[in-house]
Every structure is written in structure tokens, then in C-alpha cells.
């Protein structure tokens, strides 16, 4: 599993996802994240606000907004390809979620995680 730290010399991208699986914004965020990984970038999807719902195991499994791939499939392929999926710990706590409810490959990260990626030169997209 990839870590929340920004590592190598590849171009970096942070996708800040603030929406849950109830709309297409999460699907668009993960589609962009997967495309960036395929292009050889290091990618962090940082879940904030309602987006931390995607941290919960199984939360993305029923979301499918045609013509996009199913959200659960996008999340799974993102993590398997080495993408970093990190949820804001404070956002989880605010929503009464536990860190142990995580989807496979999902991690908890603080604002320092986001700042470390930005300091390493990551471009940022917010959805």
C-alpha cells in the first residue's frame, strides 16, 4: 500500500474530494485521479467534508453515474495502481466515523499530509 507521504520525482497531483457517493462529483474526482496515475503521476485523493464517506468500506459500491465506470471500481483500481486515498481525520471525527471503518487501502491523513504534497510541488484539483 502506498503511504500518505509524497515520495519520488514523478509529477504530483492532489485531488481534494468533498462529496460523497450521492452525486457524480466523486466519480469525476476518481476518474481524473485514475487518469493521472495512468499518465505516470503520483496521486493523492484527499477526502474532506462529506467526501470522507468514501473512506467507509462499501460506501462507493452502489454509485454508478453513466457513462463513468462504477465508483467502487474506480476507487479499487486507484488504490491497486498505487494511488493514495487519505481521509481527513478531523472530518471523520466530526461525522462520528471510526478509523477502523476504512475501505481497503484507505488511510487517515491530516492537513499536514496535504501540505506535504503541496510543498513537494503537487498540482491541486478540488471537486
pLDDT tens column, 58-112:
888 889 999 999 999 999 999 999 999 999 999 999 999 988 878 888 999 988 9
Cis peptide before 33 (omega within 30 of 0): no
- Please report the sign of the dihedral spanned by the C-alpha atoms of residue 29, residue 79, residue 121, residue 48: positive
Average pLDDT, whole number, for the chain? Answer: 90
Distance (Å, whole) CA 58 – CA 76: 11
The residue ranges of every structural domain in the chain are: 25-122
Look at domain 25-122 and name its CATH class. alpha beta
Residue 4 has pLDDT above 70, yes or no: no
Distance (Å, whole) CA 26 – CA 9: 27
**pTM confidence score:** 0.90
pLDDT band at 10 (very low <50, low <70, confident <90, very high): confident
Amino acid at each position: 500500500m502506498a503511504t500518505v507521504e509524497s515520495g519520488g520525482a514523478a509529477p504530483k497531483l492532489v485531488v481534494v474530494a468533498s462529496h460523497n457517493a450521492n452525486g457524480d462529483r466523486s466519480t469525476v474526482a476518481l476518474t481524473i485521479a485514475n487518469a493521472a496515475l495512468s499518465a505516470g503521476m503520483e496521486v493523492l485523493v484527499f477526502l474532506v467534508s462529506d467526501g470522507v464517506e468514501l473512506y467507509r468500506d462499501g460506501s462507493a459500491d452502489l454509485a454508478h453515474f453513466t457513462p463513468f465506470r462504477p465508483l467502487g471500481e474506480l476507487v479499487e483500481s486507484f488504490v491497486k495502481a498505487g494511488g493514495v486515498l487519505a481521509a481527513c481525520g478531523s472530518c471523520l471525527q466530526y461525522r462520528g466515523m471510526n478509523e477502523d471503518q476504512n475501505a481497503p487501502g484507505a488511510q487517515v491523513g491530516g492537513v499536514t499530509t496535504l501540505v506535504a504534497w503541496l510543498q513537494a510541488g503537487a498540482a491541486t484539483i478540488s471537486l
